[in-house]
Amino acid sequence: MTATTYKAGTRLKSAVCDTQIMILRIPPTPVTITCGGHPVLPMAETPAAGITVDAAHAEGTLTGKRYVDEAESLEFLCTKGGAGGLAIDGVALGVKQAKALPSSD
């Protein structure tokens, strides 16, 4: 698996589940993004046959949640939830806890 340099605004999809993400923020250095233990793919690409969610990376994703690394140097928006868990260079991402705000409009 080769590391890739991404830019904000890129949409990606899981190779093994329904998960889709949009990159909101990412450092300008090559990284490997995985979902369900397998590298994510550009939206137009067809996943390889015969691969499934790795049981060690099956935390699941939820639509509308934002996923960040510990340093919050990168941030993904999950635009479609799925069964796999997101990781960056092998380190699982966490859900960004947002403060609940009252509706103002």
Partner 1 sequence: MNIATLLEMAADTLPDRIAITNGETALDFAGVLAASRAAAAMFTARDVAHVAYLDINTPAAPVALFGAALADKPYVPLNYRLTPTELQALLERISPALLIVGDTYRAPLVLPAGITAIGTSAFFDACTADNAARVETAANDDDQAIAVQLFTSGTTGQPKAALLRHGNLSAYILGTVEFAAADDDDATLISVPPYHIAGISAVLSSIYAGRRMVQLPNFDAATWLAVVHGQAVSNVFVVPTMLARIIEHIEQTGAPPHLPHLRAIAYGGGKMPAQIIARAIDLFPSVDFTNAYGLTETSSTIALLGPDDHRDAAASTDPIIQRRLFSVGRALPTVEIEIRDEAGLVLGPEDAGLVFVRGEQVAGEYRDQGSLRDGGGWFATRDRGFLDHEGFLFLDGRADDVIVRGGENISPGEIEDVLLSHPAVADAAAVAIPDTDWGEAVGAAIVFHPNATATRADLQDLVRVRLRSSRVPGDLRMFDVFPYNETGKLLRRVIRDQFSARPTIT
Looking at residue 71, the DSSP 8-state letter turns out to be T
The nearer residue to partner 1, 55 or 98, going by C-beta atoms, is 98
Q: What is the dihedral of CA 64, 69, 72, 75, to 10 degrees?
A: -40
- Chain residues binding partner 1 by CB under 8 A are 8-11, 22, 24, 63-66, 77, 79-80, 98-105
Q: Which is nearer to partner 1, 39 or 80 (CB)?
A: 80
Closest CA to 20 of 76, 72, 96: 76
- Least CB distance to partner 1 at residue 11 (A): 7
Which residue, 54 or 80, is less far from partner 1 as judged by CB?
80
Phi, psi of 55 (to 5 degrees): -60, -25
Residue corresponding to tokens 């923020």: 25
Closest contact distance (angstroms) between CB of 37 and partner 1 is 24
